[in-house]
Structure 1
């Protein structure tokens, strides 16, 4: 029972979110296009720092440039990483400072900025957004909701749709709501990345659809998910195995779509190893990034907490096999 164990871990944290009921009209810019490019030459870049800002190492695992730790079983992936967050020991490190495409793991940073805006009182989970258009993408198979111009829904539904089932259009709508445009929101994303030491990351969109200039590293994602997990709401969202995504269509009729997580450990499509709990997580998949997953874990027997990442696995079977192997090392 994934939810019970996760709730047992995280309900110790209290949620004190200020809810301000208001109506918000979305008046963003026209749709931005995203053109796929060639695969990055994945590898260790010699000029990357070992970690981000000076003085941050005490709270993070430190992995030397080019250091490979128990990495032989992960050579089929772009990168793999397992850190014991209780001791800050690195158990597995494979290409952790090499540049990779994050795909929808990008949405972790988007979620951070949305939750910060909620906590500051700039927006509320109950705020209602009315769309002035349908958000579209060049990628024909980009994951998106059925929202069109004239539809209305709450910030809560936008955020939950973004993080649970990875609706790309929800990210654009939230970005425009908070920053006025997606490009301005990306400036906020890049600023936040540098603030937390993720200095080898660059975002050009809020969702992770491919762009050659949109990249990160496994180590930076480790820092980003740690920042994400500072927010109580992150655990509320990531504890759900279903959610009723609700909106009002252009004719004023309520529509409800039951959505499921993209993490197949949570849907039961892949067996999750016994004795562990899942905290925050995010998947990512594009043709260029291949299959990716980052998760927080807890060993229920020892209480030790971990962060595990696999990026660039060729297929879901390879992804979940590699992640299961990482989890089994967390003992």
Structure 2
């Protein structure tokens, strides 16, 4: 068991509001993993609106439109960025405002809206959902749980499955629970993105499977992660090294699947540099996005907090070696 990771030393206070909820929704297919293909060229939309830095500098680190900072070692990625959230300064910036495909980093926004719905009392972690069939995806390789029609599962397990091991079907189920349909939920996602200043972002789905019109930027993901990590429940989920994903199958039998994070620093497959701890995070992998990771970090000796992101790494080895090099740059 790995030690508990968090950026902020605080108690998690998550209020569970119990509501009566009887809904029939769709769900997913067998568990599989993504494959990464060759690196693809992603252009920049000429009319993509840029964020306004007016009033943002006091709350966020600001990176100029074409600003490149210590970027020489990261030119092989679609984008790379390390921001010091303590000094509000960029340490590394490469293609910070270039259009990228977010893959499962999309789920940061999905999780944010779910947590906000819980905090508003619109849904509860204990609410039970009954499924009438499984959600399927055009991408046969999509990561999904083993939930099928007739299964019963609560919101907590759907949320944890979504954020920890990146179950795409959990995202669809939660989207329908909150908004009535995935498309209506995407409208909420796009509205939230605009609200927090992530104006170079457009969501077409709640999970991140590829769509040409589903895009973001490294800087927008920084803004979205910052909003997500304001919530204690986000830290609780992202601190876990394992979780028992639990549901009742169609025959009424309890099923428990022990899931692990997709972040290899948390599973111990990759060693996190000494003296750092991890806060909120999300990985993402599709053929078009390649391998991606965004994380909050804290230098335990200096107290400085950072957000690090790499998008478009051609393989996990390249992703984690680049991220480790980036972390070692932090002070």
Cα separation, 2, equivalents of 1:100 and 1:68:
17
In the alignment, which residue of structure 1 is the partner of 2:262? 262
Cα separation, 1, equivalents of 2:28 and 2:186:
16
In the alignment, which residue of structure 2 is the partner of 1:122? 122
Alignment of 1:173-322 (within 5 A): 173-322=173-322
Cα separation, 1, equivalents of 2:157 and 2:304:
33
Aligned CA RMSD, in angstroms, stands at: 2.1
In the alignment, which residue of structure 2 is the partner of 1:97? 97
Contact 1:45–1:97, Cα closer than 8 Å, also in 2: no
Contact 1:44–1:66, Cα closer than 8 Å, also in 2: no
Contact 1:144–1:167, Cα closer than 8 Å, also in 2: yes
Cα separation, 2, equivalents of 1:203 and 1:260:
26
Confirm or deny that 1:82 pairs with 2:82.
yes
In the alignment, which residue of structure 1 is the partner of 2:62? 62
CA shift, 1:64, in A, is 1.0
In the alignment, which residue of structure 2 is the partner of 1:35? none
Q: Secondary structure at the match of 1:58?
A: coil
Cα separation, 2, equivalents of 1:243 and 1:316:
23
Contact 1:80–1:92, Cα closer than 8 Å, also in 2: yes
In the alignment, which residue of structure 2 is the partner of 1:20? 18
In the alignment, which residue of structure 2 is the partner of 1:323? 323
Cα separation, 2, equivalents of 1:282 and 1:298:
16
Q: Secondary structure at the match of 1:170?
A: helix
CA shift, 1:15, in A, is 1.3
In the alignment, which residue of structure 1 is the partner of 2:34? none
Cα deviation code 1:107-134 (max 9, x no counterpart): 0000000000000000000000001110
Q: Secondary structure at the match of 2:159?
A: helix
Structure 1 pair 58/10, CA: closer, same or farther in 2 (3 Å)? Answer: closer
Contact 1:26–1:176, Cα closer than 8 Å, also in 2: no
Q: Secondary structure at the match of 1:139?
A: coil
Cα separation, 2, equivalents of 1:25 and 1:17:
22
Cα separation, 1, equivalents of 2:179 and 2:263:
29
CA shift, 1:62, in A, is 1.1
Contact 1:26–1:173, Cα closer than 8 Å, also in 2: no
Cα separation, 2, equivalents of 1:209 and 1:145:
15
Cα separation, 2, equivalents of 1:217 and 1:320:
20
Unaligned runs of 5+ in 1: 32-37
In the alignment, which residue of structure 1 is the partner of 2:33? none
Q: TM-score, normalised by structure 1?
A: 0.93
Contact 1:79–1:95, Cα closer than 8 Å, also in 2: yes
Q: Secondary structure at the match of 2:4?
A: helix
Contact 2:27–2:133, Cα closer than 8 Å, also in 1: no
The number of residue pairs the alignment matches comes to 323
Q: Secondary structure at the match of 1:133?
A: strand
Contact 2:242–2:258, Cα closer than 8 Å, also in 1: yes
Cα deviation code 1:259-297 (max 9, x no counterpart): 000000111111111100000000000000000000000
Contact 2:50–2:200, Cα closer than 8 Å, also in 1: no
Cα deviation code 1:245-269 (max 9, x no counterpart): 0000000000000000000011111
Contact 1:51–1:57, Cα closer than 8 Å, also in 2: no
Contact 1:189–1:203, Cα closer than 8 Å, also in 2: yes
Unaligned runs of 5+ in 2: 30-37
Cα deviation code 1:292-326 (max 9, x no counterpart): 00000000001100000000000000000110011
